[in-house]
Structure 1
Amino acid sequence: MSDLVLLNPGPACTSPGVREAMLRGDLCHREPEFADLMGRLRTSLARCLGVAGTHETVLITGSGTAAMETAVIGSVRAGRKLLVVDNGVYGARLLSMAEAHGVETVVVEGPWTRPVDPGAIADLLRSDGRIDAVACVHHETTTGLLNPIAEIGAIVRDHEAVFLVDAISSTGIESPDLAEVHADIVCGTANKGLHGVPGVSFLLLSTAKGTGRVAAAPRRSVYLDPAAQLRSQQAGDIPFTPAVQTCYALDEAIAQYEGAGGYEARLRLYRERAAVVRAGFARLDLPVLIEEPYRANSVTALGLPAGITYRALHDELKQRGYVIYAGQGRLSETHFRIATMGEIPMPRLVELEGALEESIRHLTKARGE
């Protein structure tokens, strides 16, 4: 199975160096060596994502969803509201998190195939003074859609509200650069675009509004309390047992990210990958769900060939060395997804077209067509 190329949107394939970093050894998180590692990660994450000097990093042991929930409950003060952009499964997840913690919400809904209208957010901010935060997913992995976070950030900046961006699947690989967005709370993860391993996620909190907001929000969780996490980590400590080996892997992944040219180089790489695989999809007449101007670099939602189920296509491609991903929600019966995240050799992406063609031909022939 070591030759399998994971074309799912996380966990992504990793480099040998990242995997080897997890073998650095056992370490107690109360020792000064871990404090050094944590401090290095808090500095390097802000630096490599372009917000050094404007944002503080909070490390969270858990998947990207843990970072999302920590951000949601730390972004809204008592008696205020959270405005949630809902145009995909992950926007709906932000809404669900707020509701689970008793945070009052306002929703801007949109179709799954189009970016949200920033004007609708501006209208609500003007009309409802109780909106305390605006939460939006940058890359809706549901469909491969990008939302206009820079435009939304410019709107929210002129209000008391904070801007919360779920950048879980866009961190380091999608434009715009986070420095351009003016987000106050950014959710990210070690895996996906940074090519680390799952198990550590993080928040980037702006010193202008983000750190003050999490301090002012009521305590809604013990483990996922961003204010307590921030205070502890600023003091060189961490309140709960971290995933030490995963932190080692992230440390190495960031070193490789910066050593290869950082954000601009990785953005260019992901655009090149998207061009290669999408040219193949076009030759195979596989329709892309999202129109060209709104597509992410890393995930493509494709219509299933007539008469072929996702499970059948998945199993055929797995025999040829590729793991694809199902459509979500209402798209589960009609679409599948291919993600080009992580450490993937370009020749394997070039060969994907042939593997897809063979798989579709085999399944079509098996149906007697």
Structure 2
Amino acid sequence: MQEPYLLTPGPLTTSRTVKEAMLRDWGSRDGAFIALNTRIRARLAELAGATGTHVAVPMQGSGTFAVEAMIGTLVPRAGKLLVLVNGAYGKRMVRMAEVIGRAVTAIEAAEDQPVDIGALDRALAADPAITHVAVVHCETTSGILNPVGDVATVVARHGRRLLIDSMSAFGALPLDAAAIPFEAVAASSNKCLEGAPGMGFVIVRTDALAAARGNAHSLSLDLHDQWKGFEANAQWRFTPPTHVLAAFGQAIDEHTAEGGVEGRGARYAANCRILVEGMRALGFRTLLPDGLQAPIIVTFRMPADPAFVFETFYDRLRDKGFVIYPGKLTVADSFRIGCIGRLGAAEMEAALAAIRATLDDMGVRSGAPA
């Protein structure tokens, strides 16, 4: 059977050429591998509009490793972090700060609402101890797009520093350091850049990184130390995920060939339109209004039809070659379908046909919620 299409927020479906890039073994101290690292780091900073002001620091591990490295290195031990929370990944950043011993507070919004800009403004005015603010760009708990530009404006006005988890948005949604001033942004290889999982990265202001020496709570998650290693000899401190880096280099080339952020974002937006329109035609209802929906992953409310059992629906779709995601909400019973990865209109239409056939097989008359 052909491998299934992953309609998920990552890991996701990659191109054959990205997969094939992992067929070669690399020496981690070899000149060709060092050149690959250097090219990737430069391209990442360029994608963020941050060449000359920021540096890209790759880290072994998933995106969560990169986010924890960002918080642990850049928030001083005597600093205080304010996290804007409207889903599981904002809550995860709060937990990270607690575990590594940083003072932390949170402003929580409902999972189907964007983060509260007014509450942020008031909190920063009331608490001068807050040094950094963290926000999730696209919160895949619901699929909501947070107003990071407005957040950045408020944070800058109060003279604080902004950390962005752009894990599920970087490479497909605009994030330019000239327009959205940030101290650091974290993302990973296996999301909108369509590489393989196993590497995260942080794009961070060079001056902030230079000042962060000694902040980190962990040797392996010390962004400053990792950066100094790259600056000294362009090599990783510890064994790098060589095959993942090779795949990522190919993925970045394909991202450029597609038209960069604009081209990749346009394909995902088209995927999202096809999916939402097709699901609504079957009676399904999206959790979010279109104005809040990022073209990354869409949350659908669970159908009221008693014949609908999510586990059966999931398994039968998987048998037809499509893998979706269960829900992660507390505000509503739901499931999620992703729009990203090496998928286009043909694959989205095929997924909808499989969903229609599965509903017929299950005897589900409508996807409408209660």
Equivalent residue number for residue 15 of structure 1: 15
Equivalent residue number for residue 238 of structure 2: 240
Q: Aligned pair in 2 of structure 1 residues 247, 113: CA closer, same or farther (>3 Å)?
A: same
Equivalent residue number for residue 342 of structure 1: 341
2:271 to 249, 270, 273: 273
Q: Aligned pair in 2 of structure 1 residues 304, 27: CA closer, same or farther (>3 Å)?
A: same
Map 1:110-189 to 2 at 5 A: 110-177=109-176, 179-189=178-188
Distance of 2:275 and 2:59 partners within structure 1: 34
Query: 217-226 vs 285-294, which deviates more?
Result: 217-226
Check whether the contact 1:75–1:162 (CA below 8 A) recurs between aligned residues.
Answer: no
Q: Aligned pair in 2 of structure 1 residues 122, 212: CA closer, same or farther (>3 Å)?
A: farther
Alignment length (residue pairs): 362
Q: Deviations over 1:270-317 (max 9, x none)?
A: 111111111101101111001111111111000122232321110111
Map 1:1-369 to 2 at 5 A: 1-23=1-23, 25-177=24-176, 179-207=178-206, 210-215=208-213, 218-235=215-232, 236-306=234-304, 307=306, 308-330=308-330, 334-364=333-363
Aligned-residue RMSD, C-alpha:
1.7
Q: Aligned pair in 2 of structure 1 residues 345, 267: CA closer, same or farther (>3 Å)?
A: closer
Q: What is the CA-CA distance between 1:212 and the residue it aligns to?
A: 4.0
Gaps of 5+ in 1: none
Distance of 1:213 and 1:141 partners within structure 2: 32
Check whether the contact 2:14–2:194 (CA below 8 A) recurs between aligned residues.
Answer: yes
Distance of 1:178 and 1:272 partners within structure 2: 26
Check whether the contact 1:21–1:248 (CA below 8 A) recurs between aligned residues.
Answer: yes
- 3-state SS in 2 of match to 1:255: helix
Q: Aligned pair in 2 of structure 1 residues 129, 310: CA closer, same or farther (>3 Å)?
A: same
Q: Deviations over 1:134-164 (max 9, x none)?
A: 0000100000011110111111123442100
Alignment-mate amino acid for residue 328 of structure 1: K
Q: What is the CA-CA distance between 1:186 and the residue it aligns to?
A: 0.2
Distance of 2:14 and 2:80 partners within structure 1: 39
Q: Deviations over 1:99-150 (max 9, x none)?
A: 1111111111101101011121121111111111100001000000111101
Alignment-mate amino acid for residue 269 of structure 1: R
| Identical columns (%) | 32
Q: Deviations over 1:317-369 (max 9, x none)?
A: 112211010001526x8210000111014212112222112212222369xxx
Alignment-mate amino acid for residue 211 of structure 1: L
Q: Aligned pair in 2 of structure 1 residues 289, 210: CA closer, same or farther (>3 Å)?
A: farther
Check whether the contact 1:90–1:142 (CA below 8 A) recurs between aligned residues.
Answer: yes
Query: 253-262 vs 346-355, which deviates more?
Result: 346-355
Structure 2 length as normaliser, TM-score? 0.93
Q: What is the CA-CA distance between 1:3 and the residue it aligns to?
A: 4.0
Alignment-mate amino acid for residue 327 of structure 2: G
Check whether the contact 1:75–1:132 (CA below 8 A) recurs between aligned residues.
Answer: no
Query: 219-228 vs 47-56, which deviates more?
Result: 47-56
Alignment-mate amino acid for residue 146 of structure 2: N
Q: Aligned pair in 2 of structure 1 residues 156, 358: CA closer, same or farther (>3 Å)?
A: same
Gaps of 5+ in 2: 366-370
Alignment-mate amino acid for residue 254 of structure 2: Q
Alignment-mate amino acid for residue 18 of structure 1: V
Q: What is the CA-CA distance between 1:180 and the residue it aligns to?
A: 2.4
Alignment-mate amino acid for residue 218 of structure 1: N
Distance of 1:108 and 1:365 partners within structure 2: 40
Q: Deviations over 1:64-109 (max 9, x none)?
A: 1111111111221122210011110000000011111111111111
Q: Deviations over 1:208-250 (max 9, x none)?
A: x5424533x6220111011111111122122111100100000
Alignment-mate amino acid for residue 154 of structure 1: T
Check whether the contact 2:74–2:215 (CA below 8 A) recurs between aligned residues.
Answer: no
Query: 355-364 vs 180-189, which deviates more?
Result: 355-364
